[in-house]
Structure 1
C-alpha cells in the first residue's frame, strides 16, 4: 500500500485544517467522513509504523511496538492495544454486533453506570454506514433485538448445526454472529476460511485499514506521519493550537484548526494529562468486559461445521430488570476448540466451547496516571466490579436452561478470561456538568476544537464487542461537526 508519508521534521511548524492523532477505528472513520467536507489539508500522526498484511503474516505480529512497552502496568491484567497504522483494525477478530438500545441508558433504566448523551436511534443510521464501509456479513434476524433501517451488506456466515437448533428454539434470542470477515469476496478481501487465527487472518478476509482504507492514506489532501508520538497539546483559551511531537529526528510542533484525539483509551488520556488538560474525569473509568470460558460436552451431536470462528450470539440473558443488580450477559458460541477435542472414539466433535461475556461498571478509581519523572502512562486498575462478576455467575448459573434445546451431557467451567482486549473508558462522554470529558458530539467540554474518538469515550460497558460502535460514533461526530 502506498502512503503519503511525511516525517516529523517535514511537518515542523506546518499548519493543517485537520490534525488526527492515532489511526485506529475512531480516527480513520472520522477522517474518512471529514474528507467529504474539508477544503484544506489533513494530517495523521501515528506512533507506530505501517506493517503490510503480508509482513504481519510472515512475522506473526501486527506491530514492532509491544503494547506493554508504552505504559507502566503494575497489575497482572493485560491491556492490549496495537501501535501501528490502522491501530486495532490490524489485530481485531472483526466481531461486529451493535450495542443494545438499553446500553445507552443504563442509569435511567437500571440505576447503574452513566447514560450516554445519545440514543441507539441517534446512532442507528451511522451503524448502517459503518457496516456498509466494512461490508459486514450479518443475520437479518438480529433486527428482532437490534432494530435496523438497512439490511446487512453481506449475508450471514454459515452457522453450525448447534446454531440452527438454537435459532429454531429461540428465534428472538439466537443469531449468527455479524462480522467484518467476508462471507462473499470483495475486490480487496477473500472469503473467511474459518481457521480461527483472525488476529492475523491468513486470507485477508477481515476488514483492515490496508484493505478498507487504502484510499485514505494516499488521498491528495492527507499526509501521514508515522513513527511519531504526540506528547502534548498546546492551547490558548478554549482552543488547541498545536501538538508537540517526538519523532526519530527529535522534537517538533505542528499547528491545526481542528484536532482529533484517537490514540487509544490509555494514550489519549495520557496526552491530555501531560498537557494539563485534566477536565472532569480525564483518565478515570478504565474498564472492559468480564468473561469466562466454558466447555459443553454433547451427547451424540457434533459441532464445528460453521463457517467462521464464532458462529452464534445468544441474547437470552442480555437485558432486563436484573441489570439493576448484576450485569447483562452475552453468550458466544464458538467454532474452535481452545482446550482440544474430545478423546473418546467417534466423539471428537461432540463439544461446544462458549464464551460468557458480561458488562462491567467503570470505576473512577481505575485510571490512567502520568509518571511524574518520565511523563509516560501508568495504569492504576482496581479490578472488576462485583456487579460484573455477579453477571458472569448469572450466566453460568443459567447455561443449563439456555442450552435446553441441545443434548447436553455436561457443562464444564474452564477459566476466567484474562482480557477481552477491549480497552474502554478514561474520557467518557456525557453532559457538561456530570464529570464527563466530552459531549454528545464528541467535542471536549473545554477545548471546543478537540474531537475525542474511540472507545475511550464510552460512559458504560456493553457485553458486545465495541469496535463497530466506535466507527459509527466517529462517522456521526464528523457529520455533526462539518455537516
Structure 2
C-alpha cells in the first residue's frame, strides 16, 4: 500500500485544513467522506506504525505496540486496542450487526441509561453507505428486526445445519451473521475460509484499511505521520488551534482549521484532559458488553458445517419491557470449538458453542484519568453493573427454551468472558448540559472545530458489535459538516 509518509520535523508548524488524530474506523471513515469536500490538505497522525497484511500474518501480530504499554490499568480487566495505521480494522473479527432501534432510546423506552441524540432512522442511510464501502455479506431477513433501505452488498455466508433449524422455527429472530468477511471475492479481498483466525485473516478476506481504504493514505492531499503521539491540543476561545506531537525527534506543533479526534476511548479523553479541555463527563463512562461462553451438547445433530466463524445471530432475547430491569441479550452461534471437540466416537461435532452477550450500563465511576506526573492515561474500572450481569443470566435461564428447535442433550456454562475488546464511552454524545461531551453531529460542545469520532462517543452499550456503527456515525458527521 502506498503511503504519503512525512516526519514530525517535516510538518512542524505547518497548517492543514484537516488534522485527523488516529486512523481507526472513526477517523478513516470520516476522512473518506471529507476528502470529497475539502480543497486543502489533510494530515493523519498515528501513534503506531504501518504493518502490511503479509507482515501481520508472518509475525502473528497487528502491531509492535502492546495496548497495555499505552496506559496504566488499575484493574484486572483487559482493554484491547490496536496502535497501528488502520487501528482496529487490523485485528477486528468483522462482525457487523447494526444497533437495534431501541438501543438509541433506552432512557425514553425503558428508563435506563441515556438516549442517543440521534435515532436509528437518522443513521440508517449511513449504515447502508458503510456496508457498501465494506462489502458486507448479510442475511436479508434481518430487515424484520433491523429495518433497511438497501440490500446487503453481498449474500449471506452459509449457515450451519443448526442455523437452518433455528431459522425455520424463528424466521423473524434467527439470522445469519452479517460480516465484513467476504462471501464473494472482490478485487482486493479473498473469500472467507472459516479457519477461525479472523483477527489475523490468512485469506485477506475481511475488510481492513489496507484492502478497503488504501486511497486515503496515498491521496495527494493527505500526509501521513506515523509513530507519533498527540500529547495535547492547543485552543483559543472555542476553537482548537494546534496539536502538540511527540515522536522520535522530539516534540513539534502542527496547526489546523478542523480537528478530528479518533484515538480510541482511552487515549482520546487522555488527550483532552492533558489539554485542560475537561467538559462534561470527559473520561467517564468507560464500558463494554458483558459476555459468557456456553457449550451445548446435541443428540444426533452435527455442527461446524457453516462457512464462517460465527454463523448465527439470535434476537429472541434482545428487546422488550424486561430491559427496564435487566439488559438485552444477544446469542451468537459459533462455527468453532474453543473447548475442543466431543470425545465420544462418532459424536465429535454434536456440539454447539454459544456466546451470550449483553449490554452494560455506563458507570461514571468507570473512567479514564491522567497521571499527574506523566500525563499518561490511567484506567480506573470498578466493574460491570448488576443490570448487565442480570442480562446474561436472563439468557442462561431462557436458553433451554430458546434452543427447543434443536435436539439438546445438555447445556454447559463454561466461563464469563474477560472482554469483548470493545472499548466504549468516555466522550459520550448528547445534548449540551446533560453531561455529554459531543452533540449529535459529533462536534465537541465547547470546541466547535473539534469532531470526536469512534466508539468513545457511545452514550450506551448495545449487545451488538460496535464497529459498523462507528463507521456509519463518522460518515454521517462528515456529511452534516460539509453539506
Q: Does 1:165 align with 2:165?
A: yes
Q: Does 1:437 align with 2:443?
A: no
Match runs of 1:40-439 below 5 Å: 40-439=40-439
Cα deviation, 1:163-199, whole Å, max 9, x if unaligned, reads 0000000001000000000000000000000000000
2-side partners of 1:398 and 1:266: how far apart? 35
Match runs of 1:460-471 below 5 Å: 460-471=460-471
Shift of 1:274: 0.2
Residue matched to 1:32: 32
Residue matched to 2:23: 23
What secondary structure sits across from 1:353 in the alignment? strand
Shift of 1:212: 0.5
2-side partners of 1:210 and 1:276: how far apart? 35
1-side partners of 2:433 and 2:25: how far apart? 28
Shift of 1:74: 1.8
Over 4 Å off, 4+ runs:
none
TM-score of the superposed pair, with normalisation by structure 1: 1.00
Shift of 1:122: 0.2
Residue matched to 1:450: 450
2-side partners of 1:6 and 1:213: how far apart? 19
2-side partners of 1:405 and 1:371: how far apart? 54
Shift of 1:137: 0.1
What secondary structure sits across from 1:149 in the alignment? coil
Shift of 1:154: 0.1
Shift of 1:2: 1.0
2-side partners of 1:361 and 1:269: how far apart? 19
Shift of 1:433: 1.2
2-side partners of 1:245 and 1:434: how far apart? 32
1-side partners of 2:392 and 2:173: how far apart? 18
Shift of 1:479: 0.4
Residue matched to 1:478: 478
2-side partners of 1:351 and 1:281: how far apart? 45
1-side partners of 2:74 and 2:458: how far apart? 24
Residue matched to 1:8: 8
2-side partners of 1:297 and 1:332: how far apart? 16
TM-score of the superposed pair, with normalisation by structure 2: 1.00
Cα deviation, 1:396-428, whole Å, max 9, x if unaligned, reads 000000000000000000000000000000000
1-side partners of 2:105 and 2:122: how far apart? 13
Shift of 1:314: 0.1
2-side partners of 1:238 and 1:422: how far apart? 31
1-side partners of 2:215 and 2:375: how far apart? 35
Is there any run of 5+ residues in structure 2 with no aligned partner, and where? none
1-side partners of 2:461 and 2:200: how far apart? 26
1-side partners of 2:321 and 2:28: how far apart? 37
Shift of 1:64: 0.2
1-side partners of 2:366 and 2:285: how far apart? 5
